[in-house]
C-alpha cells in the first residue's frame, strides 16, 4: 500500500545512524519482520527514485493530547550514505513522508523449540529487531552484532531489553571482541546442543560467511539481501540476486523485492 | 461535453479504441498483475507487457539500475518469461481485466520477430503488438535494428505479414534522423509508432573506478529525457500519418498533455510507475480534470494542437 | 607527488599544456571577461570563447532559454560579435590573462569554416581552435555538418589546411554512431575531440499551447545529459588516439573525474557556470583535493583508467 | 558578487505575494534602485537555474542580542508563480540562501527639480520601492499601482510612509479605480505643468502602454524589463530584448541582465 506518514521523531542514535518513527496505517504497522518500505525522500525529481529501508519496529503510541486514541507507528533505522539518506536525516517531527509498503516476504519464524541466532552487521540490524521481538516469544535468542568500529554497533540495549543475549565484535576492537562477529557465532555453534536457526542481515561479505558457516553445519539460515531497487513491486527487475544454480550460461535470478528480501541461504548463489 | 459534463477522453489508436490516452510503458509495469493493488486497470487506456521473446531471458548481471540526475539507467537485459510461459502464466490475468493489453516483444533476427508476431497474433487477449526494435541484429553483426532504416523496415514488414492486429513500432531515439526511421516503419506497414525508447547512457562509480552497471551502459529514462522525447514526437508527427504514442519522462498530466499537443494520440507512462505505482491512473484522472477546468470537451482536439 | 606534496594536475592537450584539465565550455563563459569577477582565470586550465562567425550574428528571438528537469534548453542562435569585433574588442582582454584561450567557431559552408580557421590562426592570443560542427550546411540543404561523416571530414580537412594551431573538433551527440563521426574527424586531421555539444530538445507551454522557445527546439544541456555524454566519451575514447575533452552536465569535481576515467584528457564546464559563476575554479580546486585525499600523484593516471 | 544570505523573515504580505528579508554584505545592501539578484532556491538540481528578483529594499537592522552590531540586509518582494518561488515561500528565518548580486544597471535618478511618476503593475512594484526611497529625497513622487484585483496591490502603506502620493487601480474595481492604472497616469500627465520622468515596472503589456504614453508626450521614461535568465552576468545571452531598431532582418538585441534590466523606453522596440 502507499501512504503518507507523519514523522514523529528522527534522531541520530550513533554518529551517522538515525532512527525515525512515523505514523503508519494498521496494515503497515502489522508488517512481518523482514519486510521493507520504499520511501520517497522528496516530492520533486531529486532524488528521483524511492529508497528501500527495513522496518525496524512497529507499535502503538498515544498522542499527547487528552483523550487521544492510540495510533499505530513504524520505525526505520538508517545510515546516512548518500543524497537520499542525507535528506531523510534533515526531516523533523510533523514532516510528511510518502511511503510504499510493507513490501516483500519477511522472515520465517520457524519452530519455537530451537535456539535462534541472529547475526547483524552495522545497519543490517535494522530488520532484525522486529524479528527478535517475535522470536523471543517462543525461543532463546542470541544476537551477534558486528561492525567496523564502536559507532556501528546499534541499539544493543533495545535487544537486551527483549531478553536477547548479545555478543558484539568490532574490527578495531573499540567495542566487544576485536574481529569479525562470525567468530563469536562459530564459538556458539560449537557449543550448540539442540537445533538452531540462523538469521542474518548485513554487508554481502558477512552474509556470504554466515551462509557458508550455516551450510557447513547444516543449520537452516535465512538472510536478508539488499539490491538496487527502482520499484519494490517486482516490475523493474532491477533488484535481482543470483539463485543457487546460477551461472553465466544458465542464469537464475531471484527478485529481491518480491521473492525476498529474505531468502533461505541455500536458495542463493554464494562465492566460495 | 458529454451529457454528464465529463469530457470525451477516448482516442482511437490505429483501430484500437482506448477509454483514455494513458498507457503504461513496457518494462515498467510487469505483466500488469504486479500493479493490480495500485492501479484500477479500468482507469487507464491500455497497458503494455514487459518485452517478450521466444525463449525466456534471464537478463544481465547486477547492478542493473542506477539513478542519474532527474533520471535512471537500466540494464535489465530484457529479462522475461518467454512467450510460452507468457501464454500459460500471464495471459490468464489479462482475461480478467477489461482493458486492452498490448504485447511488447523483440527478437534477435527478422525471423524471430516474425515468429513472435505470429505467436502473439494467436492470443485473443492481446489487443495489439508493440515491436521493440532497439535490439541488436545478431545476423548483421549486432547493428541495432532500430538505428538502420532498412533493418527496421524488414522487421516491420515481417511482423506486418504475420499479424492483423494493430502493429505498433517502438522507435529508438539513438539515431541521427528519427523522421527517416519513422517513415521507413510507416512505409513498411506500421499502424502506429511509439516513441521514445530509452537513450543510451552510462554512469561511473568514481571510488570504485568502475561503471556502476555490470553491463557498463544502460537505457536512460525518466524526466531528464523528456525534452528529447517531446522534440522527436513533434518532428515525427509532422512527417507521418500514423498515430504516435508519446513516451519519455511523463510524470504528470501536464507532461502527458504536452506530448499530445506535440502530436501524440496516446502516451505511455514508464519510470513514473516506479516512483508512484499508481502514476498512470493518477495521470489519466488529472488529465480529465485539466480538460474540465480548461473547458476542453474532447481530448482528441488537443492532438497536434500546438500553435507556432 | 610533487615536492610540495601537491599532485601533478597538468595535462597536455594535443600539444597545448594545461595547468589543470578544467576548461569552460563555449557559449557559457562569454568571452572570458564576463567572469573575471568570479573566477581567477589562472586557476583553470583554459577557457573557450562564445562561438564565433565571420559576420556578427544577432541570434534568435526570445524566449531563448527554458529550464527542464535537471537541465535547460537554449536557442540563443549563435549570437556573437563576429570575428572582426572579436579581434578589436575581445582579444585585448585575452592578452591580460595567463591562461590559454580557445576560440570556438562555426560557419555555414566549408569555405566559411576554413576562412574562420585562417583568421583565428593569425591571432597570437588564440591558443587553439575548437570547431563547432553542429551547424547546418547551407549548401547541402541544411544537413548538419556534425551528423554526417563526410560533411564533418570536409570541414575538418579545410580547417586543418588553414591552421597549425591545435584543432579541436566538437562533436554533436545527435547521431546514431558517434564513433563513426569521431573517426572521420580524427582521420581528417583533428588534434582533439570535444564532446558533447547539446542534445536537441523541446519544451511546451501547455497553457499557451505553444513551444516555450521562439525557435521551437533548442540545445539541451546540464546534469540531465551527463549519462549520454559519459557514454559517448567512453565509446569514443576506446576508438580514437587523439585526446578527448569531456563535456556534458559537469557540476562538480566528481563528475569531472568520472569523465577522465571514461577517457577524457580534459573537461569543459558549461551550464554549471550559469548556476555558480565560480564553478570551473571550484571544480579544479576540488579535483586537486580529491587527488590528495585519494593519494593520486598525477591526474594523468586517471585518464581512461576505468576498470571493467 | 556571490554570497550566502541568512533569511531574517519571510512573510506573505498578500495572498501569493511574499516579502523576504535576508542578511546581505554591505556591497549588496548598497545596491542601486533597479538592480536585481539571482537566487539559488535549492542547492541540488531542482530547480536547476537561479531565479532573478528585484531588490525591494535595503537597510540595516540591529540583532536582538545585547551589544550587537548593526547588520546590513536586503529585501525581496516576490510572487509565487512556479516551482522556484513556491520553494522560496517555504523558507524560514535562519535558513540560508545562495545569492548572486547586485546585478544589472539600476534606474537613473534624473534631475531633482521635476515630478517623478512611478508606475507599477502587481509584483512590478518590487524594484520601485527602493527607487521611490531615493527619489523622495529630492522630488515629488507619485505612484500609480495597478493590478487585476485587490490582492495584487502591494505595500501601498510603505510608499505612503515615504511621502509618495499613491493612486491605485484594479481591473475588477476591488481596490481603487476600476480599470487600468495607465488611465490615472494619463490624467496626471494632463495636469502636469513642469517636467517629469516616468519609471515603470510590471507586465509587458503595461510597459508597452506606458512607453507609448511617454513617447507621445515626450516625457523621459525608464522601464525595468524581465527576461528568461540563465546566468545574470551577460554570458548566456538568454535574456535579451529587442532594441528600438530591431527587425527580423536587422535584429538588434539588448542584454537585459547587463545592459538592463532598466532601459530608457526609447532604447527598446515596442509593439504599436
Ligand atoms: C530491501 C532493502 C532494505 C534496506 N534496509 C535498510 C535499512 O533498514 N537501513 C539502512 O540504512 N539502509 C537500508 N538499505 C539500504 C538503503 O536502501 C540505502 O542505503 C539507501 O537507498 C541509500 O540511499 P542514498 O540516496 O543515501 O544513497 P545514494 O548512494 O545516493 O543512492 C543512489 C542509489 O543507489 C541505491 N543504493 C545505494 N546504496 C544501496 C544499498 N546499500 N542497497 C540498495 N540500494 C542502494 C539508492 O537506493 C539509490 O537508488 C536497504 C536496502 C534494501 C534493498
Ligand atoms: C530582472 C528580473 C527581476 C525580477 N524581479 C522580480 C521580483 O522582484 N519579484 C517577483 O516576484 N518576480 C520577479 N521576477 C520574475 C521572477 O524571476 C519569476 O517569477 C521567477 O523566476 C519564477 O520562478 P518559478 O520557479 O517560480 O517559476 P517557473 O515558471 O517554474 O520558472 C521556470 C523558469 O522560467 C523563468 N521565469 C518564469 N517566469 C519568469 C519571469 N516572469 N521573468 C523571468 N523569468 C521567468 C524562471 O526563472 C525559471 O527559469 C524578475 C525577473 C527578472 C528577469
Ligand atoms: C527498467 C526498464 C525496463 C524497460 N524494458 C523495456 C522493454 O522490455 N521493452 C521496451 O520496448 N521498452 C522497455 N523500456 C523502455 C520504456 O518502455 C520507455 O520507453 C522508457 O523508459 C522511456 O519512458 P519513461 O521515461 O517514462 O520511463 C524499459 C524501461 C525501463 C526503465
Ligand atoms: C547557452 C548556451 C550556449 C552555447 N553556445 C555554444 C556555442 O556557441 N558553441 C558551442 O560549440 N557550444 C555551445 N554550447 C554548448 C556547450 O559548450 C556545451 O557543449 C553544452 O552546454 C554541454 O555542456 P553542459 O551540460 O556542461 O552545459 C552552448 C551551451 C549553452 C547552454
Ligand atoms: S525493485 Fe523493481 S523488481 Fe525489485
Ligand atoms: S541572463 Fe545570461 S546573458 Fe543575461
Domain boundaries defined on chain B: 11-59+76-200+221-302
Residue-averaged pLDDT of chain C: 95
Tell me what the mean pLDDT of segment B150-158 comes to.
Answer: 97
Residues having CB within 6 Å of any atom of ligand 6: D 229-232, 234-239, 255-257
Is the pLDDT at C4 greater than 90, yes or no? no
A40 contacts on B by Cβ (under 8 Å): 275-276
Using left for φ > 0, alpha for ψ between -120 and 50, and beta otherwise, residue B279 falls in alpha
Distance A15 CA to ligand 1 centre (A): 18
- CATH tag, D2-103: 2.40.30.10
**Ligand nearest to the Cα of D238, by number:** 6
Q: Report the percentage of chain A scoring pLDDT > 70.
A: 100
- Please count the residue pairs, one from chain B and one from chain D, whose beta carbons lie less than 8 angstroms apart: 3
Q: What is the DSSP string of B251-290?
A: -SHHHHHHHHHHT-SEEEE-THHHH-TTHHHHHHHHHHHH
Residue B1 pLDDT class (50, 70, 90 cuts): very low
The helix-helix angle for C253-262 and C279-293 (nearest 10°) equals 70
User: Tell me, what's the ipTM?
Assistant: 0.95
- Please count the residue pairs, one from chain A and one from chain D, whose beta carbons lie less than 8 angstroms apart: 8
Is the pLDDT at C3 greater than 60, yes or no? no
Q: Is the CB of B270 under 6 A from ligand 3?
A: yes
Q: Which atom of ligand 2 is nearest to the CA of D127?
A: 8
Residue-averaged pLDDT of chain A: 94
Q: CA–CA separation, A265 vs A218, rounded Å?
A: 11
Distance C103 CA to ligand 4 centre (A): 13
Q: Which of residues 166-225 of D touch C (CB under 8 A)?
A: none
For chain D, give every domain's residue range.
Answer: 2-103, 107-224, 226-272
Contact between D235 and C29 using a beta-carbon 8 Å cutoff: yes
Q: Name the 3-class secondary structure at B109.
A: coil
Tell me what the mean pLDDT of segment A185-204 comes to.
Answer: 92
Q: CA–CA separation, C68 vs C73, rounded Å?
A: 7
- Considering only CB atoms, C28 lies closest to which of D1, D46, D236, namely D236
Residue B98 pLDDT class (50, 70, 90 cuts): very high
Residue-averaged pLDDT of chain D: 94
Q: What is the pLDDT of residues C83-127, one digit of tens each?
A: 999 999 999 999 999 999 999 999 999 999 999 999 999 999 999
**Ligand nearest to the Cα of C102, by number:** 4
Which residues touch B247 (CB under 8 Å, ≥6 apart)? B25, B194, B195, B196, B197, B229, B267, B268, B270
Is the pLDDT at C251 greater than 60, yes or no? yes
The count of other CB atoms within 10 Å of the CB of residue D66 is 5
Q: What is the pLDDT of residues D212-263, one digit of tens each?
A: 999 999 999 999 999 999 999 999 999 999 999 998 888 899 999 999 999 9
**Ligand nearest to the Cα of B269, by number:** 3
Burial of A42 (0-12, 13-18, 19+ CB in 10 A): middle
Do D245 and D252 touch, CB atoms closer than 8 A? yes
Of residues A139, A127, A16, A136, the one with CA closest to residue A82: A16
C56 contacts on D by Cβ (under 8 Å): none
User: What is the per-residue pLDDT for C169?
Assistant: 98
Largest Cα span, chain C = 63
Q: CA–CA separation, A91 vs A6, rounded Å?
A: 10
Q: Which atom of ligand 6 is nearest to the CA of D237?
A: 3
A255 touches chain B (CB under 8 A): no
Handedness of CA A108, A114, A118, A119 (dihedral sign): negative
Q: What is the pLDDT of residues D45-84, one digit of tens each?
A: 999 999 999 999 999 999 888 888 999 999 999 999 999 9
Contact between B230 and C201 using a beta-carbon 8 Å cutoff: yes
Residue nearest to atom 50 of ligand 2 (CA): D53
Q: What is the pLDDT of residues B100-121, one digit of tens each?
A: 999 999 999 999 999 999 999 9
User: In chain D, which residue's Cα lies nearest the Cα of B69?
Assistant: D45
Is the pLDDT at A121 greater than 80, yes or no? yes
- Asked if the peptide bond before residue C16 counts as cis, ω within 30 degrees of 0, the response is no
Q: Is the CB of D187 under 6 A from ligand 2?
A: no
Q: Report the percentage of chain D scoring pLDDT > 90.
A: 88
Chains touching D by CB (3 or more pairs below 8 Å): A, B, C
Q: Give the closest-approach CA distance of A251 to chain C in angstroms.
A: 20
Residue A63 pLDDT class (50, 70, 90 cuts): confident
Q: Report the percentage of chain A scoring pLDDT > 90.
A: 88
User: What is the per-residue pLDDT for C1?
Assistant: 46
Q: Report the percentage of chain C scoring pLDDT > 70.
A: 99
The count of other CB atoms within 10 Å of the CB of residue B9 is 20
Classify A107-224 by CATH class. alpha beta
pTM of the model: 0.96
Residue nearest to atom 1 of ligand 4 (CA): D236
Residue B3 pLDDT class (50, 70, 90 cuts): low
C151 is catalytic: no
Do D88 and D41 touch, CB atoms closer than 8 A? yes
Chosen from D44, D47, D84 to mutate, greatest number of chain A CBs within 10 A: D44
Is the pLDDT at A45 greater than 50, yes or no? yes
Query: What's the Cα-to-Cα distance from B148 to each of B219, C150, C253, rounded to whole Å?
Result: 19, 18, 38
User: What is the per-residue pLDDT for C50?
Assistant: 94
In DSSP terms, which residues pair with C104 in a beta bridge?
A: C130
D83 contacts on A by Cβ (under 8 Å): 44
Chosen from B67, B68, B69 to mutate, greatest number of chain D CBs within 10 A: B69
Tell me what the mean pLDDT of segment D117-125 comes to.
Answer: 95
User: What is the per-residue pLDDT for D121?
Assistant: 94
Which of A33, A81, A121, when mutated, tests ligand 1's pocket best, judged by the most ligand atoms within 8 Å of its CB?
Answer: A81
Q: CA–CA separation, B21 vs B204, rounded Å?
A: 37
Fold of the D226-272 domain: Dihydroorotate dehydrogenase B (pyrk subunit); domain 3 (2.10.240)
Which of C219, C225, C228, C244, when mutated, tests ligand 4's pocket best, judged by the most ligand atoms within 8 Å of its CB?
Answer: C219
Q: What is the pLDDT of residues B186-240, one digit of tens each?
A: 999 999 999 999 999 999 999 999 999 999 999 999 999 999 999 999 999 999 9
Q: Domain B11-59+76-200+221-302 is of which CATH architecture?
A: Alpha-Beta Barrel (3.20)
Could you tell me the three cell numbers for B30? 510487469
Do B117 and B155 touch, CB atoms closer than 8 A? no
Question: H or E stretch including B85?
Answer: helix B82-85
Distance A243 CA to ligand 3 centre (A): 25
User: What is the per-residue pLDDT for B4?
Assistant: 67
The helix-helix angle for C226-237 and C178-187 (nearest 10°) equals 50
Amino acid at each position: 500500500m502507499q501512504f503518507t506518514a507523519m514523522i514523529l521523531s528522527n534522531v541520530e542514535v550513533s554518529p551517522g545512524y538515525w532512527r525515525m518513527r512515523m505514523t503508519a496505517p494498521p496494515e503497515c504497522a502489522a508488517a512481518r519482520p523482514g519486510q521493507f518500505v520504499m520511501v520517497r525522500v522528496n516530492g520533486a525529481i531529486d532524488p528521483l527514485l524511492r529508497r528501500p529501508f527495513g522496518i525496524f519496529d512497529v507499535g502503538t503510541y498515544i498522542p499527547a493530547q487528552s483523550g487521544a486514541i492510540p495510533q499505530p507507528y513504524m520505525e526505520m533505522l538508517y545510515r546516512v550514505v548518500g543524497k537520499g539518506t542525507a535528506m531523510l536525516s534533515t526531516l523533523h517531527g510533523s514532516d510528511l513522508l510518502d511511503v510504499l509498503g510493507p513490501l516483500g516476504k519477511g522472515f520465517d519464524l520457524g519452530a519455537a523449540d530451537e535456539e535462534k541466532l541472529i547475526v547483524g552487521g552495522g545497519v543490517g540490524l535494522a530488520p532484525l529487531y522486529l524479528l527478535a521481538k517475535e522470536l523471543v516469544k517462543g525461543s532463546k535468542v542470541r544476537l551477534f552484532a558486528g561492525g567496523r568500529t564502536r559507532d556501528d554497533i546499534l541499539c544493543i540495549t533495545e535487544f537486551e531489553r527483549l531478553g536477547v543475549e548479545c555478543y558484539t565484535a568490532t574490527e578495531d576492537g573499540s567495542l566487544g571482541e576485536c574481529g569479525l562477529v562470525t567468530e563469536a557465532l562459530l564459538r556458539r555453534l560449537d557449543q550448540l546442543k539442540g537445533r538452531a536457526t540462523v538469521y542474518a542481515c548485513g554487508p554481502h561479505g558477512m552474509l556470504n560467511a554466515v551462509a557458508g558457516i550455516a551450510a557447513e553445519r547444516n543449520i537452516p539460515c535465512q538472510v536478508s539481501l539488499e539490491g538496487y531497487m527502482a520499484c519494490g513491486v517486482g516490475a523493474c527487475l532491477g533488484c535481482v540476486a543470483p539463485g543457487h544454480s546460477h551461472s553465466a550460461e544458465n542464469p537464475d535470478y531471484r527478485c529481491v523485492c518480491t521473492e525476498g528480501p529474505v531468502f533461505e541461504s541455500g536458495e542463493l548463489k554464494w562465492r566460495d | 461535453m458529454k451529457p454528464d459534463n465529463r469530457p470525451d477522453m477516448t482516442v482511437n489508436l490505429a483501430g484500437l479504441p482506448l477509454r483514455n490516452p494513458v498507457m503504461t510503458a513496457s518494462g515498467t509495469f510487469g505483466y500488469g498483475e504486479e500493479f493490480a493493488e495500485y492501479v484500477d486497470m479500468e482507469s487507464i487506456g491500455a497497458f503494455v507487457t514487459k518485452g517478450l521473446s521466444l525463449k525466456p531471458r534471464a537478463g544481465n548481471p547486477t547492478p542493473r539500475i542506477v539513478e542519474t540526475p532527474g533520471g535512471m539507467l537500466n540494464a535489465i537485459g530484457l529479462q522475461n518469461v518467454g512467450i510460452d510461459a507468457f501464454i500459460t502464466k500471464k495471459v490468464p490475468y489479462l482475461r480478467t481485466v477489461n482493458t486492452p493489453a498490448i504485447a511488447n516483444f523483440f527478437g534477435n533476427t527478422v525471423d524471430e520477430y516474425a515468429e513472435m508476431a505470429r505467436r502473439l497474433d494467436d492470443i485473443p487477449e492481446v489487443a495489439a503488438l508493440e515491436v521493440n526494435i532497439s535490439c541488436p541484429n545478431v545476423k548483421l553483426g549486432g547493428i541495432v535494428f532500430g538505428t538502420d532504416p532498412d533493418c527496421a523496415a524488414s522487421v516491420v514488414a515481417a511482423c506486418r505479414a504475420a499479424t492483423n492486429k494493430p502493429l505498433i513500432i517502438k522507435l529508438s531515439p539513438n539515431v541521427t534522423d528519427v523522421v527517416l526511421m519513422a517513415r521507413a516503419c510507416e512505409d513498411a506497414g506500421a499502424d502506429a509508432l511509439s516513441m521514445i525508447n530509452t537513450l543510451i547512457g552510462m554512469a561511473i562509480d568514481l571510488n570504485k573506478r568502475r561503471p556502476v552497471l555490470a553491463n557498463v551502459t544502460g537505457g536512460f529514462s525518466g524526466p531528464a529525457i523528456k525534452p528529447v522525447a517531446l522534440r522527436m514526437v513533434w518532428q515525427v508527427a509532422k512527417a507521418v500519418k500514423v498515430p504516435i504514442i508519446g513516451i519519455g519522462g511523463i510524470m504528470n498530466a501536464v507532461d502527458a498533455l504536452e506530448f499530445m499537443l506535440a502530436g501524440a494520440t496516446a502516451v505511455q507512462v514508464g519510470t513514473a510507475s516506479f516512483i508512484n505505482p499508481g502514476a498512470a491512473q493518477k495521470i489519466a484522472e488529472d488529465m480529465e480534470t485539466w480538460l474540465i477546468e480548461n473547458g476542453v470537451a474532447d481530448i482528441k482536439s488537443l492532438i497536434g494542437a500546438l500553435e507556432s
